[in-house]
A and B are shown apart, each in its own frame.
Chain A
Amino acid sequence: MEDVNQAKQYLQQHSDRTGINLYDHLTELLAQVLEKRPRNPADVFENISSQVKRDRFNLESIQSPLGYKKKPEPNPSLGQVNKLMTVFQSVKRSEDGNDDAAGQVPDILELSGLFEWAGVSFGKEETFLLALSIHQLVQETGLQSARFWGKLSARQGAYYVVEAEGAPPVEDDPEKVAADKAAVEPAKPPPMDVPEFEGFPDIKRPVDMPLPKEEGTGVNKYTYFVCTSIGEAWTRLPDLLPEHVTAARAIRKYLTGNLSTPIVSYPLYPGTEAHYLRSQIARITAATVVCPLGYYTFDPESADEEHPETNTAIIVNTEYEVLPNDALLSLENWVHQIPHVLPQGRTTWVNPVKPRGEGEDEDADREDGEGEDDDDASGDATGGASEREVEPETGPALLTSITEDAEFAGHPAWSVRACSRLQPSKFSPVHLRSNRWPGAHAVYYNGKFACVYVGDGLKDLGGEPTPMPALPPLQVEFKDEALVELVDPSVKDEKAFEEMLKEKEDDAQPDEEDGEEEPAD
Chain B
Amino acid sequence: MNGSNLHVDAFGSKGIGLSTEERACLATSLVGLTSSQAFMSAHFWGKIATADVSKDYYVAVAYHNDPFAPTIFMCQDALNWVQAPNVTDDEMHAAADLRAAFTGDPAFEFPLPNGAAGTLPEAKRLTAVVQCILRDAHIVPRGAYFRDVLGKLQRNATFGGLRPHDVTRLASYVHLRPTATSDAQLARPDFEDAVDVLDTVEHDQPKGCWVVEKNVMNVVLSSLVWPGYHHATSVADASFASIYVGQGKKNLDIGFMI
Give A residues with C-beta under 8 Å from B: 73-77, 80-81, 84, 115-123, 126, 151, 153-158, 252-254, 409-412, 415-423, 431-433, 435, 438, 454, 456, 458, 460-461, 463-466
Contact = CB atoms under 8 A, between A and B. Distances in A.
Contacts of A422: 21, 25
B51 A417 contact: no
Interface stretch (B63-71, B87-95, B138-146, B209-217): B209-217
Given A155-B208, A421-B77, A411 B51 contact: yes
Interface string B160-201: 000111011000000000000000000000000000000000
B106 interface: no
B12 A80 contact: no
29 contacts: A73-B164, A75-B236, A76-B219, A77-B216, A77-B217, A77-B235, A116-B19, A118-B19, A120-B15, A120-B17, A122-B13, A122-B17, A123-B9, A123-B17, A153-B14, A155-B211, A158-B13, A254-B224, A409-B100, A410-B100, A411-B52, A415-B51, A415-B54, A418-B54, A421-B21, A454-B14, A464-B99, A465-B252, A466-B257
A130 to B, nearest CB: 11
A119 B19 contact: yes
A395 B46 CA distance: 38
A438 B77 contact: no
Contact of A463 (B13, B101, B256): B101
Contacts of A416: 53-54
Contacts of B18: 119, 121
Nearest to A416: B53
A121 B17 contact: yes
Given A409-B100, A465-B252, A122 B211 contact: no
B164 A76 contact: yes
A417 B53 contact: yes
A81 B214 CA distance: 11
Contact of A252 (B12, B17, B217, B253): B253
Contacts of B52: 411, 415, 417
A185 B247 CA distance: 46
Given A77-B216, A415-B51, A421-B77, A122 B222 contact: no
B253 A466 contact: yes
B216 A84 contact: yes
B: interface residue count bin: 35 or more
Contacts of B21: 419-423
Chain B interface, >50% SS class: loop
A458 B253 CA distance: 12
Interface of B: 9, 12-22, 25, 47, 49, 51-54, 77, 99-101, 103, 163-165, 167-168, 208, 211-217, 219, 222, 224, 227, 235-236, 245, 247, 252-253, 256-258
B17 A74 contact: no
A123 B218 CA distance: 13
B118 to A, nearest CB: 18
Contacts of A417: 52-54
Given A76-B164, A77-B235, A252 B219 contact: no
A254 B215 CA distance: 21
Nearest to A265: B256
A411 B103 contact: yes
A76 to B, nearest CB: 5
Contacts of B222: 153
A344 B14 CA distance: 34
Contacts of B167: 76
Nearest to B52: A415
A158 B168 CA distance: 16
B108 to A, nearest CB: 11
A153 B53 CA distance: 22
A326 to B, nearest CB: 14
Contacts of B215: 77, 80
A286 B125 CA distance: 34
A298 to B, nearest CB: 30
Contact of B257 (A76, A157, A254, A454): A254
Given A122-B13, A431-B53, A76 B19 contact: no
Given A411-B103, A420-B19, A465-B252, A123 B164 contact: no
Contacts of B245: 119
A76 B165 contact: yes
A454 B15 contact: yes
Contacts of A119: 16-19, 22, 47, 245
A77 B215 CA distance: 6
- For the complex of A and B, list the 4 residue pairs with the smallest distance between their C-beta atoms, beginning with the closest: A121-B17, A123-B12, A417-B54, A454-B15
Contacts of A153: 14, 211, 222
A80 B214 contact: yes
Given A77-B235, A421-B21, A456-B227, A158 B53 contact: no
Given A73-B163, A73-B164, A123-B9, A158 B101 contact: no
Nearest to B22: A119
Contacts of B257: 252-254, 458, 466
